[in-house]
Amino acid sequence: MEGKCPMCGAPLENGTCGYCGYHEQATASSNTPQTNQPVQPQIIINNQTVQNPQAGTPNIIPGVSRKSKMVALLLCIFLGGLGIHRFYVGKVGTGILYLLTGGIFGIGWIVDIILIAIGTFKDQFGLPLRR
Ligand SMILES: [Zn+2]
């Protein structure tokens, strides 16, 4: 099983976080012979190598989506029938479904407005939207 990203809490896929770009070096295995030099996990955010992740990631909050709840709510209210709010949070698959079905005939549209408003709507990684 893959672990969770130490930067943002999203699930890691092959040691790489698809959410914030965190990349875990594949030297953590206990079966791998250790070299004398300590191996530091390399952290790559948006294709930029960040020396100090504490100072270099102002937009990353651990366990919280980078997507704004307010933006998602407005998109859902005005464009929810087209699934635009689901594209916004990265849920492309259900976004296309909403686009083709008119927000699942308006039902999913209404449900999503409620879910976003009460704060239980999640992004593609299952993280709650930030305020
Ligand atoms: Zn991450």
Please list the pLDDT of the chain residue by residue as tens digits (131 residues). 568 888 888 888 888 888 888 888 755 545 545 556 566 666 555 555 545 555 555 567 889 999 999 999 999 999 999 999 999 999 999 999 999 999 999 999 999 999 999 999 999 999 999 99
Q: How far is the CA of 33 from the centre of ligand 1 (A)?
A: 27
Query: Is the same domain home to 75 and 53?
Result: no
Q: Which residue has the tokens 């012979």?
A: 33
Q: How far is the CA of 71 from the centre of ligand 1 (A)?
A: 21
* Contact assessment for residue 44 and residue 21, using Cβ atoms and an 8 Å cutoff: yes
Q: How far is the CA of 123 from the centre of ligand 1 (A)?
A: 13
* Contact assessment for residue 124 and residue 90, using Cβ atoms and an 8 Å cutoff: yes
In a domain, 128, yes or no: no
Query: Is the same domain home to 1 and 46?
Result: yes
80 secondary structure, DSSP code = G
Instruction: Residue count of the chain, please give it.
Output: 131
Query: Is the same domain home to 81 and 51?
Result: no
Query: Is the same domain home to 37 and 84?
Result: no
Q: pTM, whole model, 2 decimals?
A: 0.60
Q: How far is the CA of 30 from the centre of ligand 1 (A)?
A: 23
Q: What is the pLDDT of residue 88?
A: 98
Range of the domain at 97: 69-118
Parallel/antiparallel/unpaired status of strands 48-49 and 44-45: antiparallel
Q: How far is CA 109 from CA 1, 51, 94, in A?
A: 34, 43, 11
In a domain, 96, yes or no: yes
Q: What is the pLDDT of residue 11?
A: 87
Q: What is the pLDDT of residue 3?
A: 85
Query: Per the structure block, which two tokens stand in for 11?
Result: 């699930």
In a domain, 23, yes or no: yes
Q: How far is the CA of 31 from the centre of ligand 1 (A)?
A: 25
Sign of CA dihedral 105, 107, 108, 113: positive
Count the domains in the chain: 2
